[in-house]
């Protein structure tokens, strides 16, 4: 499926996927709630996702790997591969910047999470990101 997946929302491959509307937001966020939808597909090669956001107030400053994209307008994707262990947190902005960590202990501290590991640049090279500027990740 990897060769069939593009960054085009209405492509034949993406039309196969159900569309989910984002309705859950972080409580410490603002009241600004842009209309955002996501589609997910998977196969033996991996997970494929596409987001579509309609927002007239877009902030997208960060463009480097592991930069704090949560300070920009961004989308986040969480996946927990094993029930009794941690989870992955993927954060993307419309520049294609990625912040990704494996969260071991999600307890909040002033520095972030109590225990986490940032995804290495080598591992991040396995992730392709298509975004409005028509570049694909990695930006490393």
pLDDT digits (tens, 9 = 90+) for 82-112: 998 999 999 998 888 899 999 999 999 998 8
Confidence band for 132, pLDDT divided at 50, 70 and 90: low
Residue where a domain terminates, one of 35, 57, 79: 57
Distance CA 23, CA 37 (A): 9
Cα–Cα distance, 115 to 35 (Å, whole number)? 32
Instruction: Output the pLDDT for position 88.
Output: 95
Q: How far is CA 68 from the centre of its chain?
A: 13
> Rounded to 5, what percent of the chain is helix, strand, coil?
10, 40, 50
Residue 27 lies in domain: 1-57
Mean pLDDT across the chain, nearest whole number? 85
Q: Which residue has the higher pLDDT, 125 or 132?
A: 125
Whether 62 and 49 share a structural domain? no
The reported pLDDT for the residue numbered 139 is: 40
- Is residue 76 located within the same domain as residue 126? yes
Secondary structure (DSSP) of 7-48: S-TTSHHHHTS--EE-----TTS-S---EEEEEEEEETTEEE
Residue 116 has pLDDT above 90, yes or no: yes
Q: What is the rounded distance in angstroms from the CA atom of residue 50 to the CA atom of residue 101?
A: 19
- What are the phi and psi torsion angles at 70 (to 5°)? -65, -15
Domain identity same for 53 and 70: no
The C-alpha angle 127, 132, 135, rounded to 5 degrees, equals 50
Domain total of the chain: 2
């Amino acid at each position: 499926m990897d060769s069939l997946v593009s960054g085009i929302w209405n492509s034949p491959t993406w039309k196969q996927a159900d569309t989910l509307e984002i309705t859950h937001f972080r409580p410490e966020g603002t009241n600004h709630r842009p209309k955002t939808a996501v589609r997910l597909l998977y196969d033996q090669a991996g997970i494929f996702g596409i987001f579509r956001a309609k927002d007239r107030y877009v902030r997208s400053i960060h463009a480097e790997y592991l930069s704090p994209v949560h300070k920009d307008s961004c989308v986040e994707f969480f996946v927990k591969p094993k029930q009794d262990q941690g989870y992955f947190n993927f954060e993307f902005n419309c520049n294609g910047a990625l912040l990704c960590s494996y969260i071991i202990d999600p307890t909040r501290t002033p520095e972030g999470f109590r225990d986490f590991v940032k995804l290495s640049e080598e591992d991040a090279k396995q992730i392709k990101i298509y975004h409005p500027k028509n570049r694909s990740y990695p930006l490393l």
